[in-house]
Amino acid sequence: MVQLTDVSKVYENGTRALTDIDLKIEDGEFVFLVGPSGSGKTTIIKLLTGEIAATEGEIEVNGYDLNTIKPKKMPYLRRTLGVIFQDFRLIEDKTVYENVAFAMRATGATNAAIKERVPYVLELVGLESRAKNLPNEISGGEQQRVAIARALVNNPQMIIADEPTGNLDPARSLEIMMLLEKINELGTTVLIVTHEKELVNQFSKRVVAIDGGHIISDGMDGYYNYE
Amino acid sequence: MGTITMNKLGYFIKEGFLSIFTHGFMSFATVGIIVACLIIMGSFSLIAVNVGDNMERLESENNIIAFVSENYTERQAEGLEDKLLAVDNVKSVEFVSNAEAMEDFIDQYDDPSQFEGFEPDDFRHRFLIYLDDTSLMEETQAEIAKVTGIVKVNAHLDLAESFITTRNVFGIAAAVVAAILLVVSLFIMSNTVKLTTFERREEIAIMKMVGATSGFIRGPFVFEGMILGIIGSLLAFLLQWGLYSVLMDKLLGSAGITFISIVPFSAVSLFILGAFCLIGIGIGIFGSSMAMRNYLKV
């Protein structure tokens, strides 16, 4: 569960990115966070992953109070989250399998657990035949699916995807969204940050719209009508 | 040690080795810097060891002369040897009879005829006394003077003092230069690792994102530093050995230089190997840790 209460963020250079944000995402929800560039979407993600701290307000993520969390505990908070980026962020000199296994190993998983879990997750994202390929040997859509597998492999409570389809064509984008929907149906909370109106409107999900650092709408109608 | 810890250790070692090969040029540069720093430090230390050894040799030749009373016969005088050896700080004694003393004295001059008519009795029997520690020459001189039968003790106190001062100054200079070289090596090493970590900042960011602890992220880099440190130390040791042997042959082979002695490499090789490994591994590990600091902030 994620809860932001009266959260504001002013960067050191004086830029006000968020003002009085109240947002609650329950376990198992599928939420689109939409808004134009510079609206504050990425700032929300950075706050949730503990990359930056709020100037004001309270943030709770999967049972961790981010106002009081100790730096030593930060890795454990991050293990409850699976983060996906627009630019995939794969390690170029590791194979698909190694990229996914790497995330498990980073949390101290045993070799036996890795050998059991990684093939399962690769199968889930439809990449079992690509396990031995390097990232530059597969397509952009496939690379994003590797990133999704990596985010999923530690069985996080929540997946946060920052513009996951930004570098993909419409067909591949739809595939990725459907994959994330499938993951949500398996019980993982999903938060997708995007500005792709057409894509959001294909799904009947909760849409939170943000602009100028304020939440301007939050509806279950699944329609992104912000211009 | 639990299974997870063994897993992690295996991962650190594997990643450390792998990274050395995948970042070949940086590894080569790092080893090169470690070798260069160790060779400079090692050469300087070997010079210091040799200078110290030669100084010690020269110093030990600076002896005390104890003159025996004229009333003692040669046999009686010789009998004082045990008493002198019993004095603290006396390493060895050498008896010189009055006849030998006269001979030695006359030998110093080109024309022995001018000493005709001199008798050995005009000279005293004497002992040349060598010390363990020349810095205690004054105290030892006083103790020797107390031995019954010894009437006069000559010691080159000023010479002993200048030896001690020179040795101290040289020792301090060597320590300062070694410390500066060590700091410079660490700085260069740290910057080299910084370049490596900069090249891999994306990998580090991903590790942080998936919830790796700082220790886990640092692990492979530290192991990499350690392995490069070991490789660098061993290479530096072999090079130092070769360099020293060549220089030693050249110096000993040149006819002009007969007054210096050279410490054989075998006498210091274990010490050099140990010191190189310690410093090399230390530079590797500490350099990596220092370079990683900025990347591990939450």
DSSP label at B132? Answer: S
Q: Which residues are CB-neighbours of B283 under 8 A, at least 6 positions away?
A: B34, B37, B185, B186, B189, B225, B229, B232
Cα distance between residue B141 and residue B132, in whole Å: 13
CA distance B3 to chain A (A): 7
3-state secondary structure of B119: coil
**Mean pLDDT (whole number) for A16-37:** 94
DSSP label at B1? Answer: -
pLDDT at A47: 96
pLDDT at A211: 92
CB distance B210–A78 less than 8 Å?
yes
**Residue A54 to residues A21, A81, B294: CA-CA distances in angstroms?**
11, 18, 22
CB distance A108–B3 less than 8 Å?
no
CA distance B199 to chain A (A): 12
Of residues A13 and B156, more confidently modeled: A13
Among candidate residues A31, A226, A63, A21, the one with its CA nearest the CA of residue A156: A63
Upper half-sphere CA count for residue B182 (Cβ side, 13 Å): 15
- Would you say the ipTM is above 0.90? no
Nearest to A89 among B4, B202, B212 (CB): B202
Q: What is the DSSP string of B142-168?
A: HHHHTSTTEEEEE--HHHHHHHHHHHH
Of A138-142, A218-222, B53-57, B210-214, the range with the highest mean pLDDT is: A138-142
- What residues in B contact A62, CB-CB < 8 Å? none
Q: Does B206 touch chain A (CB under 8 A)?
A: yes
Q: Where in chain B is the domain with CATH 3.30.70.3040?
A: 63-155
pLDDT at B236: 94
pLDDT at B255: 59
**A113: which 2 tokens?**
């657990």
Q: Does B18 touch chain A (CB under 8 A)?
A: no
pLDDT in tens, chain B (298 residues): 344 477 777 777 877 787 777 777 778 888 888 898 889 888 888 888 888 888 777 777 778 899 998 888 888 888 888 888 988 888 889 999 988 888 888 887 877 778 788 888 888 899 999 888 878 888 888 998 888 888 888 887 777 778 778 878 878 888 888 888 778 877 777 777 777 777 778 888 888 888 888 888 888 888 888 888 899 999 999 999 999 988 888 877 765 566 677 888 888 889 889 988 998 888 888 877 777 776 676 5
Within a 10 A sphere around the Cβ of B97, how many other Cβ atoms?
17
pLDDT at A226: 54
Cα distance between residue A44 and residue B77, in whole Å: 100
Task: Write out the CATH class of domain B63-155.
Answer: alpha beta
Cα distance between residue B211 and residue A110, in whole Å: 16
Contact A143, A127 (CB under 8 A): no
Residue with tokens 């994620």: A2
CA dihedral for B169, B174, B179, B181, sign (positive or negative): positive
